[in-house]
Amino acid sequence: MSSRNDVRRILDDLGVYPRKKLGQNFLLNEGVAAKTAEVAASKSALEIGPGLGVLTVRLAFTCDSLTCVEVSERLAAYLRALPTLSATTVLEADFLELDPRELPGYPFDCLVGNLPYSISSPVLLRLLEQRLGSVKKAVFMLQREVAQRVRASGGGKSFGRLHLQIWPFFEAEKILDVGPDDFYPRPAVSSRVLLLKRRERALLDPSLLEDYRRVVKASFASRRKTILNNLARLVGKNSARVLLGKAGIEPGCRAEELSPECFLRLTEEVSG
């Protein structure tokens, strides 16, 4: 494991002070980095938020081509100066604001990164964009709570919109858990590395994606209400009852009690 004191010294020298707002918790555990890089091995990878490069230097060996986007100007400059990353492209940019088609190495077949809580969901949902359709897998370190929501398959508080939006297109697999002591500064929560593998064939026709999102959003508008009452706000109570009947869904159920497949059937009925 990298020394906490060494990381603190490097950050002090760079004049970088970890900002909670940016989720700047720097990975120390080199074993975790090595395993993540092994899973992320690919022809062309894009790393989001490389920080001090503990993971990046390993990705440079497991990926034929590696591009990194780092929001901090000073951290980006530090990475560019590392001899082990001489063949790696490091850009100062905000991933959520850029067009991946304009980056060196595009099209990417892998996305990888240690994602702060504040941007986890937006980054995950970018995987559904057509311009990232070449991405076959994503390897993300997430707060454990978010990782549980991604993998939740039905029933319980973790099951909801995040899982349902990703599930038709990607399968999620747990790789390993990462504790607070594996970072500097030490976060208040634990993390988990997930592998998201794109399905060979999507479970949802892309032409139905917007209707599917509307159905899912409406269904979980109020978790304590029945799916009938939630859908009534979208299509009216009588229409909602008819649509649920056609989809074979009990109107008295709550959305979190249903299987993911129920939302596919419901979307098909709503779309006509």
Query: Using CA atoms, how far apart are residues 73 and 15, in angstroms rounded to an integer?
Result: 11
Residues 6+ apart with CB under 8 A from 119: 23, 95, 96
pTM for the whole structure = 0.95
270, HSE (Cβ side, Cα atoms, 13 Å):
25
Query: Using CA atoms, how far apart are residues 269 and 83, in angstroms rounded to an integer?
Result: 57
Domain-wise residue ranges, the chain:
4-198, 206-271
Q: What's residue 2's pLDDT?
A: 65
Query: Using CA atoms, how far apart are residues 230 and 253, in angstroms rounded to an integer?
Result: 11
Ranking 4-8, 19-23, 176-180, 213-217 by mean pLDDT, the lowest is 19-23
Q: What's residue 214's pLDDT?
A: 96
Query: Using CA atoms, how far apart are residues 47 and 85, in angstroms rounded to an integer?
Result: 13
Q: Kindly report the number of other CB atoms within 10 A of residue 239's CB atom.
A: 13
* pLDDT tens column, 6-53: 999 999 999 998 887 777 899 999 999 999 999 999 999 999 999 999
Same fold: 4-198 with 206-271: no
Q: What's residue 3's pLDDT?
A: 85
Kindly report the average pLDDT of the chain as a whole number.
95
* pLDDT tens column, 103-129: 999 999 999 999 998 899 999 999 999
Query: Using CA atoms, how far apart are residues 181 and 175, in angstroms rounded to an integer?
Result: 18
pLDDT band at 208 (very low <50, low <70, confident <90, very high): very high
Q: Architecture of 206-271 per CATH?
A: Orthogonal Bundle (1.10)
Q: Does domain 4-198 have CATH number 3.40.50.150?
A: yes
